Amino acid sequence: MGAAAHWESRIQQRGIPVEAIDLVMAYGESQHDHHGCEIIYLSARGKQRVLKDAANRNLRRLDKLLDVYVVVGRNGIATVGHRYKRIARP
C-alpha cells in the first residue's frame, strides 16, 4: 500500500471530505513534528479566514469539518485526521 493510498483510505474511514483537506492546505499553518514531516492545521485565525471566504462560496457546511490536520512528508500527504487537542508549539 503506497503513501497516497494510505491517506486516501483515511479520509474515507474518518469521513473527511476532500474539500476540507484543500482548505487546510490553502489556509493552514504548519508545525514540524520532528520526525521529518509537517503537520498542517487550521488555527483560529485560519478558520476565521475560511469562514469569511466561505460566505462568498457557500462553504458554511464545512464549519464543523475544519478541525482536521494533514501530515505532509517528503513524498506528499502521508495521512489526515480529526484534531481533538491543540497542536503543541515549540
Higher pLDDT pick, 46 / 6: 46
Task: Name the average pLDDT for the chain.
Answer: 80
Q: In which band, very low, low, confident or very high, does the pLDDT at 1 lie, cut at 50, 70 and 90?
A: very low
- Evaluate whether 14 touches 81 at the Cβ level (below 8 Å): yes
For residue 32, pLDDT over 70 is answered with yes
Place of cell 474511514: 13
- Evaluate whether 84 touches 12 at the Cβ level (below 8 Å): no
pTM of the model: 0.76
Place of cell 495521512: 79
Helix 44-57 to helix 18-27 angle (10° resolution) is 120
